[in-house]
Chain A
Amino acid sequence: MSERRDRFDAELSELFGEDPDLLQLAQVVRESRLEPVLDPRFPPILRARLMDEARTVLAPRHTFRTRRAPRRLAIWGSFGVAAALAAAAAVVVTLTGGTPPPGRLAVVASNVSHQRAVDPHQAITLSFNEPLNSQSEAAVVNALKIQPATQVTVTWESAETLVVTPTHPLAADTDYQVTIPKAAIQSTGGQTLASNVTIDFGTQPSSPPSPSASPAPVLEPAVMGTAASDGLAFWGPASAPGVTDASAVPATAGTAPSATASASPTGSPTPSATPASSPLASSPASSATPAPAEGAVVFPDDQMPISLSATPAAAVAVSPDGFSVALALTGANGSGEIVVEQADGSQANQVWSSGSAPGATVTALAWDGNNRIVFVTSQEIDTVNVSDEQSEQLYAFPSGGTGSGVVLAPDGEYAFLPGSDVAGPTSTATPAPATATANPTPSSTSSAALASPAATPSATYIPSAADGWLVTLATAGGQIPSPTQLAGSSSGVVAFSGASDEVAWVDAGNEAEVATVLEAPVSDPTVITPVPGAPTEGIEQLALDGHGMTLAYGLDPGGIEVETFEGTVLGTTADVASSLAFSPDGTQLAFVAAGSLDVAEVQPGSSTSPATSVCQDADQVLTQFVDDQVSHDQAGLTALSATGAPSAAQLTPAAIGRGYVISSECAAGSATAGPTLTASARLIVDPTGTSPGQLTDETMVLSQSGGQWLVTGLSVPSLRAQGSGPHVLSVSVAPPAQGSLNPESVVTITFDADLDPSSVTSGSLWLETSGEQTIPLLAPPSYDPDTREATLTVSGAVPDGTEVVVATAISDIDGGHPAAQALYPVGS
């Protein structure tokens, strides 16, 4: 394993050329590389394990991702296997309609003729009634054609039997035709064919992958350094944010040049220095973390951690411009302090102090857009102007209030107040209930009144006395306009989006019910939307990205789930997190786990991308609908069609014998419209001895009606000849990989014919938006002959409504082209 390392590394000279000492040290480090200790038995043992695993993992691929074969084909499959076995056992199967005429050459047997479920890996054999002469053997190799165009190897097993072996597995669920022109062959006895040899067969369908088989992506966080559990906040430019931890052990304590005690001139930590400032901080998980040592720390991207204070901070808030941070510290006498300093820990300035007032430690901070810091103490919510250090009271908690569960929006414009921090109903400062419910009577069992997530939002959400309030912290001291009670928020697990435009909370439900995560715009918190797919129990923490489109859940007894608002799981980890925070752009999630600050890359869900889970039931209806078309089940088609929808029974061609879904695209619903599934399916009339094959690509739209998915739109073009040239079998898209630093989507188009690779170009295959704008590709289209898949790679997520355009310029290996340019929706 050891290698000579005396090769000069020019890059080191370039890196350290201006610092000879550093260059020399780098060379020394390089040359002093430790050689690993290796047990010589290990490499072969691991290799053997890998080879065992490889035999199952690296099986030949059958990647027809979006295809769903009708049930009828499954029956055909069983029948086909039996038929194939019968064919194999038969001595002679006449292909020419009976015993060949005397003196005529004929193909008398084939293992695939008229079969409809041929294994795509199977070689095709043709047996003649007479041995062929040697010239014919050579001629057949050149003259034999297979459609769709397929690269094959033709060999002679004997003078009578021909074996046609596809270079790559045949396409699944596809009709093939093998032809040999009659002029090509002659037997040793001089006999010729009466007509061209034509053998038709179809391949068996592939098994579609189960959507549920895909495991949720695993978050792979990078460890930033040792941290505690409170007050995570992202810092600095959105393109390279660092993370601030309010109470941490700097990994480089004592060595970082900016380590400073000036930020907290009096600090010696006390047990009260880290109060439970929010429901997150008081979660059981936080008690499992190692006891934090002192200091607020900022972890800049790619740099050494920088100490911001010598004592723990109860909360941090980053200025809107990202250059300053406010720390909530505790003075030596137990007083509360707010210190503002720069990113490197310099220019610390105390802007507020509670003085000698006891119990006035700050538990939450936010920095508004007017250079003011909004903060929460155990007695009130105040604001202090960073410039003139003038403070004013925004709200005083009633007797019994503690402020411990107050959650501030990032811009300080809004706050969530637990019920105990809100004055009684007769107080002039009392927020009035503001719900959309028709029943204004508070209920002590609010959760029981909640509708299921699938129900119409908001109208049935009834707050209880224990629920908290959303208040607007406007500028006038003590005046809190438009307070609204958040139904079901008694759990206290509440989070605001980074832009402070959405609020989400966990309705833990009563003992008989599961938890529900609810989200509402802060501008109108009565418009409540349940978050589909959210965990239903054990949610201890909640975090929202910039606009509330992605949520992170910290779970008890452990684990983090990151999901889009529509319910798509973006990542999971088993870490026990004691604090969660999204970066401003939602691409990073910071959390503290086991005393370490971890930052995981998160590919944010597109705000418009469909949630697969929303349309799962629709997929089943779609498959059933195509099944019913194939079996001409009029009653079934009627049952699956919405009232007023086009008559599927009338539109479906009578002669079709097969059909399958090519692609489907799910569009998530909005507040005013439900989700829809737009799909295309191919209906096929198999060729017979007297008529050529025909096909049509239908388009259908499925929507929800009364909780059931129904076909609401259907368009079935006239049948057309299958013709030669490549056909598209399926279109699918792989969304950006979880955690990818350069997110990209890969659209895969599967063809039935072996393509001429040189014809797969950006001029023959491209993507268009619904507005017919070409979507730029990250690289020219690629083509994999093994799978007959062409792939198009684009940056980020594929926009809704995107279609693949297959132009006539594309060709198969025989030079066949599609009859016309065609568009296929990119499935989800």
Chain B
Amino acid sequence: MTLPRAYEDQLVERAKTDADAFGELYDHYFGQIYRFAYSRTRDQDAAEDVTQEVFMKALRAMPRYRPSGHPFSSWLYQISANAIADHFRQRRPQASLDAAVEIVDPTRSVVERVVESAEAARVWAAIDALPEQQRTAMTLKLGEDLKLAQIGEIMGKSEGAVKLLVHRGMIGVRQRLGVAAVAGETL
């Protein structure tokens, strides 16, 4: 659910000086940011920490916020992506998720296996094993349903670069699930 753009613009402007307006923004965006944080950290405590950091940072930066032409949520996701990266850097070395992606019968379609079994978690674990930028792009696209252009704004990349990240990410997921690349697909 998105706020009407004009209303959001007014709300954001008010939130620069009005705590209640910021509270309204929080109410609206908490769910998205928490879900994004959770989908990347897979940990309730970590998701809470990241979400708190995101909104605290946003609050403190609010008076300096300048609309970029993109939804306000782009900015929040941008802060979130940085906070998540910080989270992972602080808890290095990361536990490898590769172990969760065991190779099973390669003769069957990945799709079949995903659909037939409860492999959703393993699919997302495969996403977690992707390089950072692909992971972020994949999560925002497939986890948050954001438009490619908005993801580009969040990640500071062109829409074309985001397409490439998502595309390569999907290929990476398929490879991690143990299926040989189909003809014509190379890294």
- Chain A residues with CB under 8 Å of chain B are 1, 3, 5, 7, 9, 11-12, 15-16, 19, 21-22, 24-26, 28-30, 32-39, 42-43, 46-47, 49-51, 53-55, 57-61, 220-226, 251, 255-258, 290, 302-305, 575, 593-596, 598, 740-742, 746, 786, 791, 793
Contacts and interface: CB of A to CB of B under 8 A. Distances in A.
Given A51-B23, A57-B62, A24 B111 contact: yes
25 contacts: A11-B141, A22-B174, A25-B173, A25-B174, A28-B115, A28-B120, A29-B127, A33-B124, A33-B142, A36-B39, A37-B44, A47-B26, A47-B27, A49-B52, A50-B59, A54-B19, A58-B16, A58-B63, A220-B85, A251-B129, A302-B161, A303-B187, A304-B172, A596-B89, A746-B66
Nearest to B37: A36
A222 B132 contact: yes
B93 to A, nearest CB: 6
Contacts of B47: 36
B99 interface: no
Contact of A53 (B38, B56, B88, B147): B56
Interface in B1-53: 1, 15-19, 22-23, 26-27, 30-31, 34-35, 38-39, 42, 44, 47-48, 51-52
B145 A5 contact: yes
Contacts of B66: 746, 791, 793
B38 A3 contact: no
Contacts of A598: 89
Nearest to A598: B89
Contact of B86 (A25, A46, A57, A220): A220
For the complex of A and B, the 8 pairs showing the least CB-CB separation, nearest first, are: A32-B120, A741-B156, A36-B38, A54-B19, A1-B31, A30-B142, A24-B111, A28-B114
Contact of B59 (A54, A290, A791): A54
A383 B156 CA distance: 41
A392 to B, nearest CB: 40
Given A50-B56, A221-B89, 16 more contacts: A1-B34, A15-B163, A26-B170, A28-B111, A29-B173, A32-B119, A32-B123, A34-B121, A38-B44, A46-B55, A50-B22, A61-B63, A221-B85, A257-B186, A593-B89, A594-B92
Contacts of B114: 25, 28-29, 32
B133 to A, nearest CB: 6
B150 to A, nearest CB: 11
Given A50-B26, A304-B168, A223 B51 contact: no
B164 to A, nearest CB: 6
Given A50-B23, A58-B63, A222-B85, A595 B143 contact: no
B166 A15 contact: yes
B187 A57 contact: no
Contacts of B157: 302, 741
B76 interface: no
Interface in B74-114: 82, 85-86, 88-89, 92-93, 109-111, 114
Contact of B19 (A1, A32, A42, A51): A51
Contacts of A290: 93
A16 B170 contact: yes
A693 B39 CA distance: 64
A304 B187 contact: yes
Contacts of A21: 109-111, 174, 182
Given A1-B34, A39-B48, A302-B161, A26 B59 contact: no
A1 B161 CA distance: 30
A21 to B, nearest CB: 6
Nearest to A11: B148
A594 B22 contact: no
A304 B131 contact: yes
Contact of A32 (B124, B147, B156): B124
A625 B25 CA distance: 47
A223 B92 CA distance: 11
B60 A595 contact: no
Contacts of A304: 130-131, 134, 168, 172, 187
B92 to A, nearest CB: 5
Given A33-B142, A33-B143, A55-B19, A42 B59 contact: no
B23 A36 contact: no
A7 B23 CA distance: 29
Contact of B17 (A15, A34, A58): A58
Contact of B93 (A1, A12, A49, A595): A595
A19 B38 CA distance: 30
B133 A595 contact: no
